[in-house]
Amino acid sequence: MQQLPIDDAGPTQERLAKAGEYFQLVGRSRSSRRITMLDDPLGKAWLRQIIAATEYSALRRYALHWAAAGLQGPLTSVDLNRIYAFDPGQMSGLARTEAQLDHKRTYYAAKQAIGFRPSFVADQVACFGRGLQETGESLGLRSPYRARQKAAELLADAGHRLCAFFDALR
């Protein structure tokens, strides 16, 4: 592992050690240095060359639309005084802004365009951060090797179809 100078602008040495080889370092000087962490399952699939760079980019865009649509759920804590209370001001399920509605429409159109199984794998890996083996096992494959292989195949297929979908939007 390469040692980076310690500064306040980047990840700590412990974070880099935990990421292992799954990060990119761009730029030589301190002011132009940029570190991109790729230790999520989608980034690992790209760095292991399971998916191409264009497929990685399309899957990241798919996950961005998912997150910007507000489909990941709220990041709130439980209010113990109102456990089973209904809050009509929260409008769960409805888009709060027009931009969020546009992201939601794009996400669902992309999901429909790539098909059921590829979209399932794309959701699990790109949006939820599940590994390829775990995703393949949820498809019903018992062998860890075959589970990884099938999930990788479907992820690459989803990325390829998403490339075509996003190119058609231009």
53-93 confidence digits (pLDDT tens): 999 999 999 999 999 998 887 666 666 666 665 555 565 66
Q: Which amino acid appears at position 8 of this protein?
A: D
pLDDT value of residue 84: 60
What number of CA atoms fall less than 13 Å from residue 2's CA on the CB side? 8
Per-residue pLDDT at 102: 95
Q: Examine the pLDDT at 134 and tell me if it is beyond 60.
A: yes
CB 161 within 8 A of CB 114: yes
pLDDT, average across residues 17-38:
72
CB 126, CB 62: distance < 8 Å = yes
Tokens encoding 21: 């080889």
Q: What pTM, to 2 d.p., does this model score?
A: 0.78
Structure tokens at 129: 């951060």
